[in-house]
Amino acid sequence: MSIVSNSLKRIKPSPTIAVSQKARELKAAGKDVIGLGAGEPDFDTPDNIKKAAIEAINKGDTKYTAVDGTPALKKAIVNKFKRENNLDYSTEQISVGTGGKQIIFNAILATVNPGDEVIIPAPYWVSYPDIVLLAGGKPKIVKCSERNNFKITPEELKKSITKKTKWIIINSPSNPTGSGYNQKELKALGEVLKKNKNVFILSDDIYEHITYDDFEFFTIAQIKELKDRTLTMNGVSKSYAMTGWRIGYGAGPKDIIKAMAKLQSQSTTNPSSISQAAAVEALNGTQDFIKTRVESFKERRDFVVTYLNSIKGLSCLKPNGAFYVFPNCKKLLGKKLKTDKDFVEKLLGEALVAVVQGSAFGLDGYFRISYATSMDNLKTALERIKSFCESLS
């Protein structure tokens, strides 16, 4: 008889964390591994943010806070939404968690009943389906075509909605593809959702500030008729290089926010008081460094996409956000390597480059590269990937 609960048996460990852990183990064993699996900026947290944390420590700001965020941080979040997205929220509509993942986790566990369906366009961030499964819900995976930049269409959305649909999750710009929904595309999806008033929208905006070229960020809560059914998740981890600080936040209907706080009160309670003080400075302080860092990411993106498309057997779309590419490796699969999982495992074993298989994100025949690392690492890694792909022919 197993002591492990049935609900836990429904889920699996995070594939992206597993890849990063395997890369760390190989490095510890003396292998020259280049890790392109982690979704983590290689830049340091800006000095003004670190200084705010140090000041909080020195002031003795080291006690418990309100469960779902300090008044100062909630106010900073309210101001952020007004300043950047022209969205009006009260502090009662704001929830702060230990990372963006907890916001999503709390929202799903607080609202999904057994049998409820959650529409998840694929490729998706690896944790979405497992969080739904843990809540007893049913992930309804909609595989999105590369021809449409891996984005769900209004027709596909309409076909996917049933009487059991509780949520749709929209991630823009996306992990793992970097594809973003522009205002016109979100409004087209919005027309479908306006007619299905029982469906709530969870908008994952964590890569909001990391966009390229002429892409203009737009979030679905900006559609007036949908704001009261939308929970918008964001955080400081990607834009401010604060992954280890563990601060995410959400804005949405008061009843959902209150339910999320109830759940959080019985799990982690409040996020770190020091991290919250740092996040206040991140949101209220200078934003100038973001543009400079995005320019560096863009340079890396352009290099990686061009290089990948020069490798026989691979093809890669140019993303308009985040810091990932999602190359197609289907032409290299066959007798030697049957799946994308075989491809990435052999790539790590023989070429010492760690990437994540597309099937982990719900779409076979691809793999994800994070280019949130130095140009030197990217050049060496791509040279290894090229040699590896050539060895397969």
Residue 9's Cβ-count burial label (10 Å; 0-12, 13-18, 19+) is exposed
67 Cβ neighbours under 8 A, 6+ residues apart: 261, 264, 265, 269, 270
CATH number of 63-284: 3.40.640.10
Q: How do the domains of the chain map onto residue ranges?
A: 6-44+289-392, 63-284
Is residue 138 helix, strand or coil? strand
What tens digit of pLDDT does each residue of 309-318 get?
Answer: 999 999 999 9
**Residue 135, pLDDT above cutoff 80:** yes
HSE of 39, CA atoms in CB hemisphere, 13 A? 24
What tens digit of pLDDT does each residue of 187-223 get?
Answer: 999 999 999 999 999 999 999 999 999 999 999 999 9
Q: Which amino acid is at 92?
A: E
Q: Which amino acid is at 50?
A: K
- CA of 105: how far to CAs of 130, 217, 255, in Å? 10, 24, 16
Q: What is the dihedral of CA 175, 215, 145, 125, to 10 degrees?
A: 10
**Residue 112, pLDDT above cutoff 80:** yes
| DSSP letter for each residue of 142-160 | EEPPGGGTT---HHHHHHH
What is the structure's pLDDT at 181? 98
Q: Contact 304/155 with Cβ under 8 angstroms?
A: no
* C-alpha of 125 from chain center: 6
Closest CA relative to residue 257, chosen from 247, 268, 249, 266: 249
The whole-angstrom separation of Cα 204 and Cα 263 is 20
The whole-angstrom separation of Cα 234 and Cα 243 is 12
What is the structure's pLDDT at 219? 98
Specify the higher pLDDT residue, 336 or 229.
229
pTM: 0.96
CATH number of 6-44+289-392: 3.90.1150.10
What tens digit of pLDDT does each residue of 19-31 get?
Answer: 778 888 888 889 9
| Percent over 70 (pLDDT), the chain | 100
